[in-house]
Amino acid sequence: MTRLICPACTAPSLTLYTQGILLCPYCGTRVIGEAEVCSVCGHENPIASEQCLNCGEPLTITARVVLRQGRASREPFFLSRARGLAARLKSQGDQASEERMDRFREMDRQRQARDAENLALQQARDRRLLIASAGALGILVVAILIGLLAVVLR
């Protein structure tokens, strides 16, 4: 029985992972039949590919060395994709926050309008009560004066 060699790191011990998928225990490369699965984005590439056709991630040890020599600080595809998403997510969050703030401002404006209306109604009720009280007091004073005048004139 021949041992299968990993196309990425040339380790001589690919093992059966699941149905039709071989896995390298050293570098984690998955090989599907006549295709190699990119460990970063999961794209199936032809078995002889040096780089992933989808994200450009090196698939063989040689490609990894060559790419790292050219770009020492190269970040993985998933990280650059996440950074791209972060700006969009921040923008969406800022927009949603602004929309919530606008709703709060509108609610506050409506509350202030209701408060002003209630205050005007209360002031009108207070004025009516004051006028009625002053009228009743006036009538009481007149009644008392009439009573005193009647007592004095007898």
Q: What is the pLDDT of residues 108-132, one digit of tens each?
A: 999 999 999 999 999 999 999 999 9
Average pLDDT of the residues of the chain: 81
The band of 1, judged by pLDDT with boundaries at 50, 70 and 90, is very low
Q: Is the pLDDT of residue 4 over 50?
A: yes
Residues 61-116: pLDDT tens digits? 666 666 666 554 556 666 677 777 888 888 999 999 999 999 999 999 999 999 99
CA angle 140, 144, 150 (to 5 degrees): 145
Residue 80 lies in a domain: no
pTM for this prediction: 0.38
Residue 36 lies in a domain: yes
Q: Which domain holds residue 125?
A: 96-154
Residue 107 lies in a domain: yes
Residue 77 lies in a domain: no
Number of domains in the chain: 2
Q: Do 151 and 106 fall into the same domain? A: yes
**What pLDDT does residue 71 have?**
54
Residues 34-60: b if buried by 16+ CB within 10 A, e if exposed: eebbbbbbebbbeeebebbeebebbbb
